[in-house]
Structure 1
Amino acid sequence: MTAPFVSKPMAVEEQWLDFNGHLNMAYYNVLFDRGVDQLGAILGFGPAYRERTGNTTFSAEFHLCYLRELHLGDKVTASFQLLDYDAKSFHFYQELIHPDGWISATGEGVGLHIDQSGPRVAPMPEEILAKFAKLSDAHSALPRPERVGRVMGLRRK
């Protein structure tokens, strides 16, 4: 388990551009999601897990900060830092990182383990919790990102 986890590079696709010629805001989420899917495969989540168990993960909340525009052909990796977890949920931080080292966007989220028969939040199996424990150990030495816990609102003087 790397600290933080970093996805394989992903490229901005032409159909994702808005009329301003840069990545439409919705597709920043797509890039974050595709990056976390790569980690999900390592943790044991994904389509096969859902089919086998009837369980999956849902996003409960996600806060995204746009820092720098992405354009057609730009490549980024998505990082993932586990901040906390329990038997049913996990709190995490992500960054979209350009190969030149700058950060395009950050995201902070809470994911839930879901039993789809309800649907309802349900405990994760022990084998996945053991993988979260290893991930937590690897990520516990990382500094807490400055953008975690940001409050959204208008700034008044």
Structure 2
Amino acid sequence: MPALITYQTPVQADWVDYNGHLRDAFYLLIFSYATDAFMDRIGLDSDNRSASGNSLFTLECHLNYLHEVKLGTQVWVQTQIIGFDRKRLHLYHSLHREGFDEALAASEQMLLHVDLAGPRSAPFAPGVMERLQGIVDEQVDLPAAEFVGRVIGLPT
């Protein structure tokens, strides 16, 4: 399977800092929009969320800033499922641009399926589980996500 592209956008003027680079917070915004698009793809779109009362919450996010991104650059997010169980989803997003082979940034995320009435964790619906497994099956030949499981710390 070619990479699953979940979001595309040009870098907006109000996303750029005093150094002429994409502000750190806007990398996360772009990845957040990619997660929303991924939710739509697996059947957790706004209609489903309204009908079921379920959604995804982000439990943890690791963000790696790898290369600078400048105003107007057309970027896209590629999304890979690292793993999932009946209530959790481990995703990997990477940010890319034309003519540059390396990822510009990477975000590893752990998401929890939640019943909003609680709120409390809830199992995915069978159809969502099937779509998740289908994507995993399609992604079996993708290279391993490079920036997964990293820990922040000073060398000792």
After TM superposition, is the score higher than 0.5? yes
With 137-146 and 67-76 compared, the bigger mean Cα shift is at: 137-146
> Partner of 2:84 in structure 1?
85
Distance 1:100 1:120 in 2: 44
Distance 2:128 2:93 in 1: 20
> Partner of 1:147 in structure 2?
147
Trace 1:67-78 onto structure 2 (pairs within 5 A). 67-78=66-77
Q: Which runs of 5+ in 1 are unaligned?
A: none
- CA shift for structure 1 position 141: 2.6
Asked if structure 2 preserves the Cα contact closer than 8 Å seen for 1:58 and 1:113, the reply is yes
> Partner of 1:116 in structure 2?
116
State the TM-score, normalized to the length of structure 2: 0.92
Letter in 1 for 2:56: T
Letter in 1 for 2:73: D
Asked if structure 2 preserves the Cα contact closer than 8 Å seen for 1:63 and 1:107, the reply is yes
Distance 2:7 2:59 in 1: 25
Distance 1:7 1:65 in 2: 18
Please give the per-residue CA displacement for 1:52-105, whole angstroms capped at 9, x wherever unaligned: 111011111110000111111011110111011011011111100011133210
Count of residues paired in the alignment: 155
State the TM-score, normalized to the length of structure 1: 0.92
- CA shift for structure 1 position 3: 4.7
Trace 1:1-157 onto structure 2 (pairs within 5 A). 2-101=1-100, 102-156=102-156
Asked if structure 2 preserves the Cα contact closer than 8 Å seen for 1:3 and 1:81, the reply is no
Distance 2:142 2:8 in 1: 22
Cα RMSD (Å): 1.4
Q: Percent identity?
A: 33
Distance 2:24 2:14 in 1: 13
Distance 1:55 1:96 in 2: 28
Asked if structure 2 preserves the Cα contact closer than 8 Å seen for 1:5 and 1:39, the reply is no
Give the secondary-structure state (helix, strand or coil) at the position aligned to 1:7.
strand
- CA shift for structure 1 position 9: 2.4
Asked if structure 2 preserves the Cα contact closer than 8 Å seen for 1:83 and 1:139, the reply is no
Distance 2:48 2:155 in 1: 44
Distance 2:35 2:119 in 1: 22
Asked if structure 1 preserves the Cα contact closer than 8 Å seen for 2:58 and 2:112, the reply is yes
